[in-house]
Structure 1
Amino acid sequence: MHALILHRPGLPGWLSEMLKYQGPNRLAIQMLAWHETLYYHAVTTAVYAEAVGRALGMQDKELEWLIQAAFFHDYGKITWPSALVSKAHLSDDDRKLVNVHPITGEYYLRKYWPDVPDPVCRAIREHHERPDGSGYPAGLKGGEVHPLSVIVATVEVYTALLEHRPYRDKSFTRAEALAELEKQGLPGEVVRVLAGISEVVVGKTVGQCLS
């Protein structure tokens, strides 16, 4: 059933192309099987990332790596108990799982997709690092974080703020989300590009992605 969902007509071109290959297809099916919110967050993040990458002049392999990293950035969450999806308050043990998911995601991506490009893995590992060193898992600062990782991090935060989460009362508006990106010190160039992109709507029918 999941394979049929992933291959239905109307998928974004990059996703349809990516899912032709056994490794990425298996990973995407696992995300959807773990929880559909993870899968649709991945699609939304990748759609925004593609728009940002094109606006910044990325082409060919660099753009492809950005899209792949954006789609699989949270793959490590499939190792979590599914109850974490709806949990409003995290325990210390929960927080440990959260903090390690970038490393877990890279590990399993390499396991199930042996020829995954290294820049994709690095962006997955670093997508929760922050310019001031307050991020995780390594507490990297500024130039220590790969440029692709910075873009994925910025876009991922933006999409997460626009989506429903059990630990807050309401989703952010676009203006509030953009302001939060600036507050976190994420790159102004990427924030400005996101400000110019119409909101992406990804429903349970993936072919209904609108921009």
Structure 2
Amino acid sequence: MLKYQRLNMLVMEMLAWHEMLYYHTVTTAVYAEAVGRTLGMQDKELEWLIQAVFFHDCGKITWPLALVSKTRLSDDDRKLVKVHPITGEYYLREYWPDMPDPVCRVVREHHERPDGSGYPNGLKNREIHPLSVIVAVVEVFTALLEHRTYRDRSFTKAEALAELKRQEFPGEVIRVLAGVGEVVIGKVVGI
């Protein structure tokens, strides 16, 4: 995927915008690859999963940097947050003109939820691409393990898995995540 020089530029923009965005992306990609392989994905499907998860949050680079450190979001802030999947899709299409459609869908759908409570389109169940569901689970899991300004502390792995169950994410993906070792700056340890 990084054969396009412009994609390398997008990666560098993500890193320059905020280091944590880059590390979140790398960590989430490593977890997603482990989940995809455990679920038996191969070839194109696994490649699409990894590509999509790597760029799932690229739309955030359009945010004012101050948004990252806020402990409470205003209504306007929330509106801006909820368009990053659409913005990310546009950015990715600009940087990667022949992006595979499944990658595009995952970037756009990674905040959709089976019950329809997600964004940007409020999709439900089978309307959401299966790869988008995996990315959603892994992305939430990774975010829970990370420090965030709006929380007092990070979740433990057990707490994060329990939260995924509470949010009614697919049990199969949660079980696979439970078996994945800790990811430290893009490296899986303890498998």
Task: Give 1:23 shift.
Answer: 3.1
Contact 2:4 2:96 in 1 (8 A): no
2:18 paired with 1:35: yes
Structure 1: gaps spanning 5 or more residues: 1-17
Give the TM-score, by structure 1 length. 0.87
Match of 2:173 among 173, 190, 197: 190
Task: Give 1:21 shift.
Answer: 2.8
Residues 109-188 of structure 1 mapped to structure 2, 5 A cutoff: 109-188=92-171
2:188 paired with 1:200: no
2:60 paired with 1:60: no
In 1, the alpha carbon distance for the partners of 2:181 and 2:66 equals 32
In 1, the alpha carbon distance for the partners of 2:157 and 2:188 equals 16
Give the TM-score, by structure 2 length. 0.96
Cα root mean square deviation, aligned: 1.0
One-letter code of the match for 2:29?
A
In 1, the alpha carbon distance for the partners of 2:7 and 2:50 equals 12
2:50 paired with 1:80: no
2:7 corresponds in structure 1 to 24
Match of 1:106 among 85, 89, 96: 89
In 2, the alpha carbon distance for the partners of 1:24 and 1:42 equals 14
Provide the identity percentage: 79
**Residue 58 of structure 1: SS of its match in structure 2?**
coil
One-letter code of the match for 1:88?
T
Contact 2:32 2:135 in 1 (8 A): yes
One-letter code of the match for 1:137?
P
In 1, the alpha carbon distance for the partners of 2:46 and 2:6 equals 19
Task: Give 1:92 shift.
Answer: 1.1
Task: Give 1:60 shift.
Answer: 0.7
Contact 2:32 2:134 in 1 (8 A): yes
In 1, the alpha carbon distance for the partners of 2:140 and 2:23 equals 15
* Residue correspondences, number: 189
Contact 2:71 2:149 in 1 (8 A): yes
Task: Give 1:20 shift.
Answer: 4.0
One-letter code of the match for 2:130?
P
